[in-house]
Chain A
Amino acid sequence: MFDYETLRIIWWALIGVLLIGFAIMDGFDFGVAALLRILGRNEEERIVLLETIEPTWEGNQVWFILGGGAVFAAWPLLYAASFSGLYVAMFVLLLAFIIRPVGFNFREKMHHPRWTAVWDYCLIASGVIVMLVCGVAFGNLFLGLPFRYDGDLRMTWEGSFFGLFRPFALLAGLVSLSMLLAHGASWAAMKADHLIAERAAKVARIASLVYVVLFVLAGIWLAYGIPGYAISGPVVMDGVSNPLGKQVAVGASWFSGYLTHPAFWLGPIVAFLGALGVQLFVGRRGFGGFVCSCLAVAGTILSAGFALFPFLMPSAIDPASSLTVWDASSSRGTLLIMLGVTVVFIPIIVLYTGWVYRVMRGRVTLEHVRKSHNMY
C-alpha cells in the first residue's frame, strides 16, 4: 500500500504531530506550574491556578509518554542513541516528570503552609527544568552530538553532560522557556479567575515578546553561524535502516531546505502570526489568545523540524553516523502496523479529550474554590 520511503515521511510527520501535541498540551501545564507563585499571590489564588490544570494535566502528559513510545517503535535507533547519550540530562528530565504526579496529588493533602510551599517549588522547578532541558536538547541537535557507531551498530558517546551547555543550545533553551511561559500564561488568562487572568495576560504579552526576539535571534544565528548537514552522494530513501551506509557533508546551510521547499516557510510564518495574535487577543473574551499561543508553539517546532529535515540527530564527531529519516527507522512492517494503530486511535483520543475539556469548561473562580474543595 505504502512504500518504505512514504512510510518514513509519514512517520516523520506523525512524530512531529506528537511532539507538537506534547508541547501544546503539556506545555501550558508546565507554564502554569512554573508561574504558580508569580501569578498566584496567596494560597487561594494558587489553588485556582492548579485547578485550571489538575483535571486534565495527567492526560496531557500522556502526549509525552506516547511521544517516547512512538519514537521507540518508529525510530529505535534515535530512541536508543538520544536517551543513552544524553544520560544525565535525561535523568534530570525524568526526575522533573516523576515529581509532577505526586506534586499535584500530594500538595493539597495537607494544609500546612510549609508543606504546600515545598510542593509548589517542586512543581515550579519541574516546569522550568522540562522547558529548559527540552529546548537545550533541541538546540544541540543543530550543533551535532558527539556519537559514533561501530559495525555492530553499538553507539559510543564521547561527550559529557556539561558539554551540552553550548551558547546556541542555551539560546534554544530560552526560546522554549519563554514560548511555554507565554503559553501557560495564555491558558491562565483564559481559565483562571479574572483577578489572576489580568496578571496572566500581562505576563503572556511580555513572555511572548521575549520569545519572538529570541526566536529571530536563534534563526539568524543558525543561518549565519552554524554549519548545516547534508547527505552527500546518492540519497537512498528506501534502503535498510543502517546509518553507516551513507556519506554526510558538513558546511551547507541548515536553511537550504527552505530554498528548495518554499512551503517550509509556513513554520516561521505561523509562529510569528501566533505570537502577534497573543499580543492582540490575550486577556480578551474567548479563546483567541490561547489558540494563537498554540499556533506559536506549533510554528516553532515546525520551523526547527523543517530545518533539520531529513536529519533527526546529527553526529558532530562522525557525520556519517548521523541519524536521518531514511536510516533510523523501524522495518517497513512495523511502520505500517503502527500507522494503522495511530490512524485509528489518535482521532478517538482527540474526541474523548475534547469531551473532558468540554465537561471542565469555564473559568475556575476564587468563589468556586472557597465554596467547594475537590477530592483529588
Chain B
Amino acid sequence: MIVDPDVVGLSRLQFALTALYHFLFVPLTLGLAFMLAIMESVYVMTRREVWKRMTQFWGVLFGINFAMGVATGVTMEFQFGTNWAYYSHYVGDIFGAPLAIEGMMAFFLEGTLVGLFFFGWERISPLKHMLVTWFLALATSLSALWILIANAWMQNPVGAAFNAQTMRMEVTSFKEVIFNPVAQSKFVHTVSAGYTMGAMFVLSISAWYLLRGRNIDFAKRSMTVAASFGLAASLSVVVLGDESGYSVSENQKMKMAAIEAMWETEPAPASFTVFGLPDVKARETHAAIRIPWVMGLMGTRSIDQPILGIADLVDDAKLRIADGIRAYDAMLVLRENKNDAQARAILAAHDKDMGYALLLKRFIDDPRKATPADIQKAADSTIPNVPVLFWSFRIMVACGLYFIVLFAYAFWRASKRRLDGRGFLRAALWSLPLPWVAAELGWIVAEYGRQPWAIEGVLPTALGASSLTAGQVWISLGGFVLFYTALAIIDGYLMVKFARKGPDGLGMWPKQPDSIPTTAQTV
C-alpha cells in the first residue's frame, strides 16, 4: 500500500516545525541549568548574597524557558505514534527503549527536582539546594543523552535485525545501540551547543545591563561566568562537531557528499568547498572556492582514502536496491512458509539492503515488479536537498567559529577585569540570536540530511507515516501553528519583560549598590 504523499509531506512538515520549535528551548535549558549550578556553588562556597541572587534571577528566566521546553516536548513523544505509526511499529522494539529509559533515568529526576529548585529555597539547607540544582543540571544533560542515543540509531542503526515474522526490526545487541559511536559524538556536540547557548544568553543580557549602567556588579559577575563557561563550551562544540562530522562520513556517505556538494568522487585527499552555488539540475557547483586537502583530512583522517561523490553513491544505491528486491521477495516467501530454508538464506544474505527495496514503495506497490526506470528513480531519491545542506552547514560552522572568538575575547577582558567598552558590549548583545541560528541549522543538517530515510538504509520516511487522511493532519498542523504562535508571543513577551526588569526591577538587587535587600520580594 502506498501512503498518501500529502499525508507524508504534511506529517514531515509538522514534525520538522514542532521539533525545530522544541529545539528553541531545549539547548537553553541545558546551558542555563549548568550556569545556575555553577553560580549557586559559588554562593555556597563564599556565602555572598550576590551569587544567590544571580542564581535566583537567572532561575526566573530559566523557569519560563523550562516550561516551554516541557510543554513542547510532550508533542515529540506523541508524534511518533500519531503521525509515524508504521515507523513506531517497525522500529519500536529498539527506538522505544531509549525513550522510556530517558523518562526513568533523567526526566523523572528533572521534573521532580525543578519544583524544589523554585520552592525549596526556604525549606532545605543551601548545600542541599545546591545539590538539587546540580542534579537538575545533570538530569537535563542525561535526558539529552538518551534522546540522542535514540536519534543516533536513526542515523546509524546498529545492533538490530529484521524479523520477517513480526515485520519489524528487533534488537540483537542492546550494547551496540547504547554505545553507538554516532550517539557519543552527537551527544557531546549537542550538549556543548546548549552550553554555548546558555552562556550567550547570560553574556548578552548582562551586556545590556552594563550598557545601561544597571546592576553593574551583578552583571559583571554573570558575564565572567558566561565568558569562561562559554569559551569551554564553544571550543568543545566545534572540536566535537568535527568528531560528529567524522562519524557522518563513516556511515552516512550521502549526507556527507550533500553537505559538501561533492557531485563526483575526487582523488584523495579531497578539497573543501568554502563557497559555491550548488546546481541540483546540472549536478555541479558553480563559482566554487576550494581549499585543497582539507575535506579529505577532516572526513577520512587520512590522505589516501577518497570521499565518495554523489554520482558514485547513486550507482551504489542502484546495486543495493537490486539486492534489496531479492531480500523483499524472500521475506514474502517466508511470510507464507517460515521454514523455507532457501528463502531464509537469501534474506539473511541481503536483509541489510531490504530498506533499499522499500524505497521503491513510494513509486510502485510491489518492489518485485520494479523496472530499471523505477530503480533509477528510487536511487536518485536518495540524494537529499544539496543547496540547503551545503549552506546550513557553512553558516552553522561560521557561527561556531565566531563563538570561540567572542568568548575568548570576553574571557580575556574578564580576566583583566575590563568588562566595559561599548563596542564589545554591543557585539555581545547583538550576538544573542546566533546560537539559535546555529542550533536550528544543525538540526536541519542532521535530520533533513538524513532524508529520504527515517532510519538510514532501513526504513524510508515515506513508508513510516501513519495511514491518516490529509484532512486530519491539516487539523493538527493548523492547531500547532495557531497554538505555538500564541505561546511564542507570550513566551517572548515574558522573557523580554523579565530580562528588562532585571534583578533591580524585581527587587533582588538594589538600584544603588550600597543597600542589598535581605529578602526576595514579589516577582
Residues of A at the B interface (CB closer than 8 Å) are 51, 54-62, 65-66, 68-70, 72-74, 76-77, 79-84, 87-88, 90-91, 94-95, 97-102, 104-106, 108-109, 150-157, 240-242, 330-331, 333-334, 337-338, 341-342, 345-346, 349, 352-353, 356, 359-360, 372-376
Contacts and interface: CB of A to CB of B under 8 A. Distances in A.
Q: Which 10 A-B pairs have the closest CB atoms?
A: A76-B92, A83-B81, A59-B112, A73-B96, A72-B96, A84-B85, A84-B466, A66-B103, A69-B100, A105-B67
Contact of A80 (B67, B92, B166): B92
Interface in B163-182: 163, 165-168, 170-172, 174
A80 B78 CA distance: 10
A98 B171 contact: no
Contacts of B64: 105-106, 109
A87 B474 CA distance: 12
Contacts of A80: 81, 85-86, 88-89, 92, 466
Contacts of A345: 104-105, 108
Given A84-B466, A106-B494, A359-B120, A151 B335 contact: yes
Interface in B67-91: 67-68, 70-72, 74-75, 77-78, 80-83, 85-86, 88-89
Contacts of B123: 359-360
A77 B92 CA distance: 8
A15 to B, nearest CB: 11
A145 B85 CA distance: 16
Interface in B201-224: none
Q: Is the interface of B mostly helix, strand, loop or mixed?
A: helix
Contacts of B94: 334
B71 A99 contact: yes
Given A62-B107, A81-B85, A353 B112 contact: yes
A152 B167 contact: yes
B466 A101 contact: no
Interface of B: 1, 56, 59-60, 63-64, 66-68, 70-72, 74-75, 77-78, 80-83, 85-86, 88-89, 92-97, 99-105, 107-109, 111-116, 118-124, 163, 165-168, 170-172, 174, 335, 466-468, 472, 475-476, 479, 483, 487, 490-491, 494, 497-498, 520-523
A274 B282 CA distance: 74
B115 A156 contact: no
A73 B92 contact: yes
A194 to B, nearest CB: 21
21 contacts: A57-B115, A72-B77, A79-B81, A84-B85, A88-B472, A88-B475, A98-B74, A101-B67, A102-B487, A106-B64, A240-B166, A330-B93, A331-B166, A334-B171, A341-B100, A356-B113, A359-B120, A359-B124, A373-B521, A373-B523, A376-B118
Contacts of A83: 78, 80-82, 85, 88
B112 A333 contact: no
- Max chain A C-beta neighbours (<10 A), residue from B71, B121, B476: B71
Nearest to A68: B77
Nearest to A108: B523
A41 to B, nearest CB: 22
Contacts of A79: 80-81, 88, 92, 96
A150 B167 CA distance: 11
B170 A331 contact: yes
B479 A95 contact: yes
Contacts of A100: 71
Nearest to B69: A101
Contacts of A375: 56, 59-60, 63, 118, 121, 520, 523
A70 B71 CA distance: 19
Given A69-B102, A102-B490, A242 B166 contact: yes
Contacts of A338: 97, 100-101
A120 to B, nearest CB: 15
B498 A242 contact: no
A73 B96 CA distance: 4
Contacts of B491: 102
Given A99-B71, A356-B115, 6 more contacts: A58-B115, A69-B99, A72-B96, A337-B97, A337-B171, A349-B112
B467 A84 contact: yes
A102 B494 CA distance: 11
Contact of A66 (B88, B104, B113, B497): B104
B77 A65 contact: yes
B118 A73 contact: no
B119 A55 contact: yes
Given A79-B92, A102-B67, A154-B1, A91 B479 contact: yes
A373 B113 CA distance: 19
A283 to B, nearest CB: 26
B82 A98 contact: no
A346 B68 CA distance: 27
Given A57-B115, A72-B100, A155 B67 contact: no
Contacts of B99: 69, 72-73
A102 B365 CA distance: 45
A201 to B, nearest CB: 25
Contacts of B172: 333
A338 B174 CA distance: 10
B63 A73 contact: no
Contacts of B335: 151
Contact of B1 (A152, A359, A373): A152
A95 B121 contact: no
- Max chain A C-beta neighbours (<10 A), residue from B60, B122, B163, B166: B166
Contacts of A376: 63, 118-119
A375 B123 CA distance: 14
B43 to A, nearest CB: 15
Given A84-B467, A240-B166, A331 B171 contact: yes
Given A79-B88, A80-B85, A106-B490, A62 B170 contact: no
B467 A154 contact: yes
